[in-house]
């Protein structure tokens, strides 16, 4: 089941309050990707959609559609507050480090996708 760390829940609650959107929740979307695993999206939404999995984390609600919930079954939303604060998805089922089945070598162009895949194939 998709989970949210306490740190991420607190940061998200603070963010929503600062934005004047305390009545909103966070939609987490995962799309099956190429050789580097799923691509993720985070969006603010006021209401859940029919069929959504709703994860409550403190005072915050996280909405996950049925297709995304399969890809996020063991993942968690976390937050880093270093020099560049950010929310991120930690998914143990996603390939790490750019292992690629497209035939390209690792490390060519990790900017080609959002998962840090180093194969350069753009998937």
pLDDT at 59 over 70: yes
- Do residues 77 and 8 touch, judged by C-beta distance below 8 A? yes
Domains and CATH numbers, the chain: 3-93 (2.60.300.12)
- pLDDT given for residue 103 in this prediction: 43
Structure tokens that stand for 112 in this block? 């080609």
Among left, alpha and beta (phi > 0; psi -120 to 50; other), residue 122 is left
pLDDT interval class at 1 (50, 70, 90): confident
pLDDT tens-digit map of 61-116: 999 999 999 999 999 999 999 899 999 999 998 775 444 444 443 333 333 344 45
Place of tokens 């309050």: 17
First to last CA, the chain: 26
For CA atoms 70, 47, 55, 114, the dihedral sign is: positive
């Amino acid at each position: 089941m998709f989970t949210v760390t306490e740190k991420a829940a607190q940061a998200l609650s603070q963010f929503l309050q600062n934005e004047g959107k305390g009545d909103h929740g966070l939609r987490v979307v995962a799309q099956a990707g190429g050789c580097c695993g799923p691509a993720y999206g985070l969006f603010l939404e006021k209401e859940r959609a029919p069929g959504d999995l709703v994860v409550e984390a403190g005072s915050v609600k996280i909405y996950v559609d049925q297709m995304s919930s399969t890809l996020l079954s063991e993942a968690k939303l976390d937050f880093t507050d270093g020099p560049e604060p950010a929310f991120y998805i930690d998914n143990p089922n996603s390939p790490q480090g750019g292992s690629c089945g497209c035939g390209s070598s690792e490390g060519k162009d990790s900017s080609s996708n959002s998962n840090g895949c180093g194969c350069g194939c753009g998937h």
